[in-house]
């Protein structure tokens, strides 16, 4: 029986701003309910400014004004030690950081302090949660770095002296050295070139397998999800619109947006025109009525314009928020081969 | 390491250029002007005392020789540099026949002492408080501090020095307001003298600090509030790194890098401030010397003070620049 | 532009205070155009009168009505500051835009010169000019000299903005459309650096008026031309504090502090308006 390590319920988190007397509310996370199980990689996909970054900010307990949790709960269960991020005190959250919950941040260029040697950064980050110091600590770090194929010399280097791939491996090392049970990886491969990207993905997967951690993996790149994720959730305009096992999401998407994302994957040798979505993602400050996808949806009917579709369960582990999910077909004939290639 | 040598080389070249252009400008401003230094000096001298006509002729000849005004400009220019290399800019009129350079060298330590101490105090206070204020933006104390800093910062050095003079000279006379040390102590390495020097330097230094710290405070506060949004700070916070490590090692440490660059750039302005402060408080430094020299029409002394102060400021900037790579490892690698 | 002004006035307390302070000083300075007395004449009234209904700011030991004297002085000083600011803006815009946009050796040469100007302590240089020119050093010459030293910081600032603009899409469009460099800079880039120019304008005025005060107080300008500094010069030379004519010192100092605070508040509030990051912070608060 697999256990849930993270349970998010009815989560609403908005940016509430007041500038020059004009109040603005950006509904970045609007009613998301989901769970992550132990030992799985959960992929989160969505366009930029879809709210996925805001969502994981909440998961990582990085909620700062003007960003606020309006409603709902985010419950972690670390070996029988339950904690709700939305209600926990600062001290309780500090106590789980890095020891249980760690984070791989987007953009390896800027996440390391440019004026500190890597070794010092490791001390800052990991000495306290590991409860080690001096030689014991250093040995632990060096052993861990070896798993990431990094020589102990990097500890004496400054970030700017390392290549992009090395820096990303260092940040993965930082995030995993304390063997946390839950890792949030935010676009860890985006800024890397393809070869390094593959290497880094492999690394994250290996480390995750070895430690048995749960990983939330965020990227807009569906082919990366095909490679690493066990389950994928699609976020559109602040809402979870579809969630299911990776294979099903690629072969039988049940939301027109997912279908579109999957169909737009490039495929070797294929030069046919890809159907582009019309319009832009909606503004989260002023989202459309009804289903937020309807202005761009090829299947939209009147009901979609009026009523918000609930996220209903339509199969094992498969949920979708679409009034017409039964009519959603894979978008084009290349799709099947496409999915297979990405999965393979 | 090689990068560092390149860096030093580039800065040294800049130092030489600044000194060269600064001193050349000093020369040309004084020599291209329609006023003949010889006549001016003579005019000033004869205005103060009665000289026999023969003495004036002899003096004119001596002065013409000294300033070389009958030679072409280029050879005057070369001569000027040669004399400067020997550190000989002729005797001062103000304290005839003491060489002008000797007067400058006597005044230099006072100014350097005042400048260095007040700059360090200003830089430390301004950046420390500014940094904390930028990090704890809702803190009432720092907000009040910021208002005071902002209020003082734009006021000219002269006005602040003057207000201090009024307060401590007339309203609440607890501190000495004039001179470098008390009249009745003899200079030497003893407590009375050092104590006297210190108490006499409080007001001049205070006026420099009061005007100066606001700029650092405001700059650092702005820098810090930008640095706190940097990914590496957010990341350290997400990792639960200790608060004081984040403030010191991540936020302030990074914000300090551009402030240090700015330090070099403000030294020229601070020197100008020192000149004024010295004048207000009768401090026996370069500023007072320059002003006395101008009032006395002392050509050699004005030239000596100008060239030495241009070179000293340039040298100070050079030294600050050399320290910069220690603070920023990225410069070392360049 | 007007809407921005109104918003700033309503929501930015620093800006509002700054406007009020500067406004008061400017109105006061403008009164000098209707002055019943010639401010350069002395012994026109009874000397050393404290402030009263007849002489609002009192009279000084030189027999001048301080109200009209100061009004003229502030007009002259503000005009002086404006002149320096305008002249030095022209240099800094030209150098900054050219350096940032053309780049290469032009940039390197200009920035090298820039660094030299930054490193030269200006005060001794100004004193040197006074020493040489003496009373030929009128306000305009002094403004000209100061303008020659007042540009390098701002030129660097403008250069950094121009560097950013250079790689923007619209610049490339303009270049492909065959616009000349001069045209690109003046028509495409200048509007973007205008806000910086406004805020540095205030800062520059502060700097130049402050220097003028300092020089004048030491007697290193034409002391017969009433300015903020020369008023203080005469007060000092008549030992105003010692003989008890305190209003001769206190009133000008209050007015100076008002001017400087006002200009400074305008500069920083505009700065904040320009910098989108600090605006975001404000939105968060």
pLDDT > 90? residue C91: yes
Q: Where are the beta strands (DSSP E) in chain A?
A: 4-19, 22-37, 41-45, 67-78, 81-84, 101-104, 182-186, 214-218, 231-236, 239-245, 312-315, 318-320
pLDDT (0 to 100) of residue C285: 33
pLDDT (0 to 100) of residue C232: 86
Q: How many Cα atoms occupy the beta-carbon half-sphere of B289 within 13 Å?
A: 29
> C-contacting residues of B 3-22, CB under 8 Å?
14, 17-18, 21-22
> A-contacting residues of B 210-239, CB under 8 Å?
230-232, 234-239
Measured between CB atoms, does C282 come within 8 Å of chain A? yes
Say which residue, C56 or C114, is predicted with more confidence: C114
pLDDT > 70? residue A86: yes
Say which residue, C157 or C278, is predicted with more confidence: C157
Residues in B closer than 8 angstroms to C125, CB to CB, are: 25-26, 29, 306
Residues in B closer than 8 angstroms to C268, CB to CB, are: 150, 218
> Which of these, C249, C271, C270, lies nearest to C60 by C-alpha position?
C249
Closest-approach residue (CA) in chain A for B230 = A110
User: A229 with A42: CB under 8 angstroms?
Assistant: yes
Name the domain count of chain B. 1
Question: Who among A98, A111, A112 is closest to B240 (CB)?
Answer: A98
Measured between CB atoms, does A127 come within 8 Å of chain B? no
Please list, residue by residue across C251-274, b when 16 or more beta carbons sit within 10 angstroms of its beta carbon and e when fewer do.
bbbebbbbbbbbbbbbbbbbbbbe
pLDDT (0 to 100) of residue B67: 66
Highest mean pLDDT among A300-309, B30-39, C115-124, C263-272: A300-309
Measured between CB atoms, does B54 come within 8 Å of chain A? no
In a domain, B88, yes or no: no
Distance from C-alpha of C258 to C-alpha of A322, rounded to nearest angstrom = 65
CATH number for position B299: 1.10.3720.10
pLDDT (0 to 100) of residue B332: 65
Residues in B closer than 8 angstroms to A113, CB to CB, are: 232, 236, 249-250, 253-254
In a domain, B238, yes or no: yes
Measured between CB atoms, does C5 come within 8 Å of chain A? no
Mean local confidence (pLDDT), A254-262: 89
pLDDT (0 to 100) of residue A21: 62
Q: Which of A54, A100, A113, A119 to mutate to test the interface with B (most CBs of B within 10 A)?
A: A113
Residue A268: pLDDT band with limits 50, 70, 90: low
- Could you give the angle at the alpha carbon of C29 between the alpha carbons of C26 and C34, nearest 5°? 130
pLDDT (0 to 100) of residue A20: 59
pLDDT (0 to 100) of residue B206: 92
Measured between CB atoms, does B108 come within 8 Å of chain A? no
**Shortest Cα distance, chain A CAs vs residue C47, angstroms:** 52
pLDDT (0 to 100) of residue B96: 67
User: A44 with A14: CB under 8 angstroms?
Assistant: no
In a domain, B222, yes or no: yes
- Could you give the angle at the alpha carbon of B288 between the alpha carbons of B285 and B292, nearest 5°? 135
In a domain, B82, yes or no: no
Mean local confidence (pLDDT), A189-204: 79
> Which of these, C118, A115, A109, lies nearest to B257 by C-alpha position?
A115
Percent of chain C whose predicted confidence (pLDDT) is above 90: 11
> Which of these, C262, A247, C9, lies nearest to B150 by C-alpha position?
C262
Distance from C-alpha of B333 to C-alpha of B328, rounded to nearest angstrom = 10
Say which residue, B240 or C270, is predicted with more confidence: B240
CB contact under 8 A, B238 and A60: yes
Measured between CB atoms, does A116 come within 8 Å of chain B? yes
Mean local confidence (pLDDT), C61-76: 86
Residues in C closer than 8 angstroms to B14, CB to CB, are: 112, 115-116, 119
pLDDT > 60? residue C34: yes
In a domain, B14, yes or no: no
Question: Who among A20, A21, A65 is closest to C284 (CB)?
Answer: A65
pLDDT (0 to 100) of residue A280: 76
Residues in C closer than 8 angstroms to A19, CB to CB, are: 279, 282-283
Question: Who among C116, C219, C249 is closest to B18 (CB)?
Answer: C116
Ranges under pLDDT 70 in chain B: 1-2, 33-37, 40, 44-45, 47-51, 65-69, 96, 331-334
Q: Where are the beta strands (DSSP E) in A58-152?
A: 67-78, 81-84, 101-104
Subunits close to A (at least 3 CB pairs below 8 A): B, C
CB contact under 8 A, C283 and A65: no
pLDDT (0 to 100) of residue C76: 92
Distance from C-alpha of B58 to C-alpha of B20, rounded to nearest angstrom = 34
CB contact under 8 A, C10 and A65: no
CB contact under 8 A, A66 and C10: no
Residue A335: pLDDT band with limits 50, 70, 90: very low
CB contact under 8 A, B240 and A111: no
Architecture of domain A4-229: 3-Layer(aba) Sandwich (3.40)
The tens digit of pLDDT for each residue in C216-269 reads: 888 888 888 888 888 888 888 887 777 777 888 888 888 888 888 888 888 877
Residues in B closer than 8 angstroms to C118, CB to CB, are: 265, 268
Domains and CATH numbers, chain C: 29-282 (1.10.3720.10)
pLDDT (0 to 100) of residue C284: 38
Q: What is the pTM of this model?
A: 0.79
> B-contacting residues of A 89-108, CB under 8 Å?
93-95, 97-98, 102-103, 105-107
**Shortest Cα distance, chain A CAs vs residue B240, angstroms:** 5
The tens digit of pLDDT for each residue in A1-39 reads: 468 899 999 999 988 877 656 777 888 888 899 999 988
Where are chain A's structural domains?
Answer: 4-229, 252-266+277-343
The tens digit of pLDDT for each residue in A109-131 reads: 788 998 899 999 999 998 888 88
Say which residue, C243 or C33, is predicted with more confidence: C33
pLDDT > 80? residue A190: no
Tell me the residue range of the domain where B138 lies: 100-327
Q: Which of A124, A188, A216 to mutate to test the interface with B (most CBs of B within 10 A)?
A: A124
pLDDT > 70? residue A333: no
Question: Who among A21, A24, A65 is closest to C11 (CB)?
Answer: A21
Mean local confidence (pLDDT), A37-56: 88
Please list, residue by residue across A25-55, b when 16 or more beta carbons sit within 10 angstroms of its beta carbon and e when fewer do.
bbbbbbbbebbbebbbbbbbbbbebbbbbbb
CB contact under 8 A, B153 and C122: no
CB contact under 8 A, B155 and C256: yes
pLDDT > 70? residue C280: no
Q: What is the largest CA-CA distance in chain B?
A: 88
Least confident residue range of A169-173, A324-328, C279-283: C279-283
Phi-psi region of A320 (alpha: psi -120 to 50; beta: other; left: phi over 0): beta
In a domain, B61, yes or no: no
Residues 6+ apart with CB under 8 A from B38: B60, B63, B64, B67, B69
> A-contacting residues of C 10-69, CB under 8 Å?
10-11
Residues in B closer than 8 angstroms to C249, CB to CB, are: 166
Subunits close to C (at least 3 CB pairs below 8 A): A, B
Mean local confidence (pLDDT), A178-198: 83
Q: Which of C123, C144, C267 to mutate to test the interface with B (most CBs of B within 10 A)?
A: C123
Residue found by looking up tokens 């008549």 in the block: C238
Say which residue, B86 or C169, is predicted with more confidence: B86
pLDDT (0 to 100) of residue A8: 92
């Amino acid at each position: 029986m697999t256990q849930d390590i993270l349970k998010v319920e009815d989560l609403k988190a908005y940016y509430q701003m007041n500038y020059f007397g004009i109040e603005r509310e950006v509904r970045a996370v609007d009613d998301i309910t989901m769970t992550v199980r132990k030992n799985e990689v959960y992929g989160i996909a969505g366009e930029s400014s879809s709210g996925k970054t805001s969502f994981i900010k909440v998961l990582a307990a990085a909620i700062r004004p003007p960003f606020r949790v309006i409603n709902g709960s985010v419950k972690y269960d670390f070996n029988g030690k339950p904690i709700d991020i939305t209600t926990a005190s600062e001290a309780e959250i500090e106590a789980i950081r890095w020891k249980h919950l760690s984070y791989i941040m987007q953009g390896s260029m800027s996440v390391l302090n440019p004026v500190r040697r890597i070794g010092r950064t490791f001390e800052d980050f990991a000495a306290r949660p590991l409860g080690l110091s001096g030689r014991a600590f250093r040995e632990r770090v060096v052993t861990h770095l070896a798993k990431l194929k990094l020589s102990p010399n990097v500890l004496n280097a400054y970030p700017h002296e390392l290549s992009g791939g090395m820096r990303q491996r260092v940040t993965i090392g930082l995030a995993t050295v304390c063997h946390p049970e839950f890792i949030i990886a935010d676009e860890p491969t985006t800024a890397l070139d393809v070869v390094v990207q593959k290497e880094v993905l492999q690394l994250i997967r290996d480390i995750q397998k070895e430690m048995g951690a749960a990983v939330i993996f965020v990227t807009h790149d569906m082919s990366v999800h095909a490679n690493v994720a066990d389950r994928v959730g699609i976020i559109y305009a602040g809402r979870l619109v579809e969630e299911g096992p990776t294979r099903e999401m690629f072969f039988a998407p049940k939301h027109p947006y997912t279908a579109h994302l999957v169909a737009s994957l490039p495929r070797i040798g294929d030069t046919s025109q890809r159907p582009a979505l019309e319009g832009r993602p909606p503004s989260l400050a002023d989202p459309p009525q009804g289903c937020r996808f309807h202005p761009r949806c090829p299947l939209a009917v009147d009901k979609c314009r009026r009523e918000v579709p609930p996220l209903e369960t339509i199969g094992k582990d498969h949920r979708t928020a679409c009034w017409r999910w039964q009519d959603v077909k894979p978008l084009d004939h290349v799709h099947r081969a496409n999915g297979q290639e990405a999965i393979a | 390491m090689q990068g560092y040598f390149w860096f030093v080389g580039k800065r040294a070249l800049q130092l030489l250029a600044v000194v060269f252009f600064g001193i050349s400008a000093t020369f040309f401003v004084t020599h291209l002007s329609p006023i003949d230094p010889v006549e001016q000096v003579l005019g000033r001298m004869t205005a103060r005392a009665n000289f026999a006509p023969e003495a004036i002729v002899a003096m004119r000849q001596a002065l013409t020789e000294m300033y070389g005004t009958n030679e072409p400009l280029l050879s005057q220019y070369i001569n000027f540099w040669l004399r400067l290399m020997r550190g000989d800019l002729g005797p001062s009129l103000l304290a005839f026949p003491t060489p002008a350079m000797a007067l400058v060298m006597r005044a230099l330590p006072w100014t350097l002492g005042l400048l260095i101490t007040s700059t360090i105090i200003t830089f430390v206070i301004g950046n420390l408080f500014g940094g904390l204020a930028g990090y704890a933006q809702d803190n009432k104390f720092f907000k009040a501090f910021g208002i005071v800093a902002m209020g003082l910062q734009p006021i000219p050095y002269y006005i602040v020095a003057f207000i201090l003079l009024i307060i401590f000279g007339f309203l609440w006379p607890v501190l000495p307001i004039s001179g470098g040390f008390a009249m009745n102590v003899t200079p030497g390495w003893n407590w009375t003298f050092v104590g006297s020097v210190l108490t006499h330097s409080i007001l001049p230094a205070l006026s420099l600090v009061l005007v100066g710290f606001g700029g650092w405070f405001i700059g650092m506060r702005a820098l810090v509030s930008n640095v706190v949004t940097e990914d590496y700070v957010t990341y350290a916070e997400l990792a639960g790194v200790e608060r004081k490590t984040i403030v010191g090692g991540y936020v302030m440490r990074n914000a300090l890098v551009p402030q240090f660059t700015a330090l070099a750039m403000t030294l020229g302005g601070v020197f100008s401030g020192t000149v004024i402060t010295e004048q207000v408080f009768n401090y026996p430094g370069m500023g007072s010397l320059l002003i006395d020299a101008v009032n006395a029409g002392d050509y050699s002394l004005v030239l000596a003070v100008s060239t030495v102060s241009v070179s000293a400021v340039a040298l100070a900037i050079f030294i600050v620049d050399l320290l910069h790579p220690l603070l920023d490892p990225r410069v070392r690698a360049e | 532009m007007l809407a921005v002004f109104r918003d700033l006035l309503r929501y930015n307390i620093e800006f509002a205070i700054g406007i009020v302070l500067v406004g008061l000083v400017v109105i006061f300075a403008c009164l000098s155009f209707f002055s019943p007395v010639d401010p350069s004449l002395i012994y026109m009234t009874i000397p050393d009168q404290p402030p009263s209904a007849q002489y609002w700011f009192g009279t000084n030991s030189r027999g001048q009505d301080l109200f009209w004297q100061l009004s003229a002085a502030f007009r002259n000083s503000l005009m002086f500051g404006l002149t320096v600011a305008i002249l030095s803006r022209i240099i800094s815009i030209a150098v900054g835009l050219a350096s940032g946009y053309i780049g290469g050796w032009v940039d390197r040469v200009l920035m090298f010169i820039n660094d030299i100007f930054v490193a030269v302590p200006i005060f001794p240089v100004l004193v040197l000019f006074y020493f040489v020119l003496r009373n030929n050093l009128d306000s305009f010459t002094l403004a000209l000299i100061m303008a020659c030293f007042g540009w390098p910081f701002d030129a660097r600032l403008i250069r950094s903005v121009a560097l950013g603009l250079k790689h923007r899409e619209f610049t490339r469009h303009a270049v492909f459309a065959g616009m000349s460099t001069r045209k690109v800079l003046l028509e495409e880039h200048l509007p973007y650096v205008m806000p910086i120019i406004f805020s540095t304008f205030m800062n520059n005025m502060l700097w130049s008026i402050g220097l003028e005060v300092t020089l004048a107080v030491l007697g290193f300008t034409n002391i017969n031309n009433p300015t903020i500094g020369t008023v203080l010069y005469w007060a000092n030379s008549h030992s105003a504090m010692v003989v008890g004519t305190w209003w001769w010192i206190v009133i000008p100092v209050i007015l100076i502090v008002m001017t400087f605070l006002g200009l400074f508040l305008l500069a920083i509030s505009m700065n904040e308006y320009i910098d989108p990051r600090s605006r975001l912070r404000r939105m968060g608060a």
